Amino acid sequence: MSVRPDPDLVRPVVRALELAGYWGLVEMEFLQGRDGAMLIDVNPRFYGCMALPLACGVNLPAAWHAVALDREPPWPLPYRTGVVYRWRLADVLAAVRGSPERLRKRVHGPQAGAMWATDDPLPAPLMVGAELGTRVSRRLPGRFGASTPGRRRFRPKR
């Protein structure tokens, strides 16, 4: 969910990036812990939830493009807070694994997400079908499945 940036958090992060010599787009994810916000992920690239800042009025791809070309970046619109990013593929996979309530969960207010446009409905089922097909084929023995000689897979410990 989009939140108002905390200047006390932004300043040291910007300083650390400057000291590292970094310039350009970077997305950082924080979790709120007992001792305050903790940085859990840094993405110095276009990232999967890019639809969220766009829905909040900040066109990061256009800004990054302008900076890379040494041009003035576009002025952002007022930043919208409270916009929820829905990763629907994760919801579908959770439903397949036995948590169908993830698909039924309603989010009130503005939302953003990838590959789920009501005016272009075809990409969403194709993406979900491809992902489910990949996951099913990994479980099949033989030519397409996990037992293919020489094929290594990461399996998280349960």
Here the CATH number for the domain that contains residue 36 is: 3.30.470.20
The pTM assigned to this predicted structure is 0.63
One domain, residues 115 and 47: no
CA 47 – CA 105 distance, rounded (Å): 24
Q: Is residue 70, in this structure, part of any structural domain at all? A: yes
Check residue 143 and give its pLDDT: 58
CA 89 – CA 127 distance, rounded (Å): 8
Q: Is residue 110, in this structure, part of any structural domain at all? A: yes
Q: Is residue 60, in this structure, part of any structural domain at all? A: yes
One domain, residues 10 and 24: yes
Check residue 20 and give its pLDDT: 93
One domain, residues 38 and 104: no
Q: Is residue 56, in this structure, part of any structural domain at all? A: yes
**19 alpha-carbon distance from chain centroid:** 26
In degrees and rounded to multiples of 5, residue 42 shows phi and psi of -130, 125
One domain, residues 29 and 89: no
One domain, residues 55 and 104: no
Check residue 49 and give its pLDDT: 82
One domain, residues 58 and 6: yes
Check residue 30 and give its pLDDT: 86
**117 alpha-carbon distance from chain centroid:** 16
Check residue 148 and give its pLDDT: 47
Residue 60 CB neighbour total at 10 angstroms = 19
% helix, strand, coil for the chain, step of 5? 35, 15, 50
Q: Is residue 155, in this structure, part of any structural domain at all? A: no
One domain, residues 96 and 119: yes
Boundary (domain end) residue, out of 28, 56, 79: 79
What residues form DSSP beta bridges with 111? 84
Check residue 67 and give its pLDDT: 85
Helices 123-139 & 88-96, crossing angle to 10 degrees?
40
One domain, residues 32 and 95: no
- The domain in which residue 137 lies consists of 83-145
One domain, residues 70 and 119: no
Residues 6+ apart with CB under 8 A from 112: 49, 51, 52, 54, 55, 56, 83, 84, 85, 86
Residues 6+ apart with CB under 8 A from 133: none
Residues in the chain with pLDDT values less than 70 = 115-118, 142-158
DSSP 42: E
Q: State how many domains the chain has.
A: 2
Residue 89 and residue 127 in contact, taking contact as beta carbons nearer than 8 Å: yes
Residues in the chain: 158
Boundary (domain end) residue, out of 21, 48, 79: 79
Alpha-carbon distances of 44 from 33, 51, 67, rounded to whole Å: 24, 16, 14
Boundary (domain end) residue, out of 64, 79, 94: 79
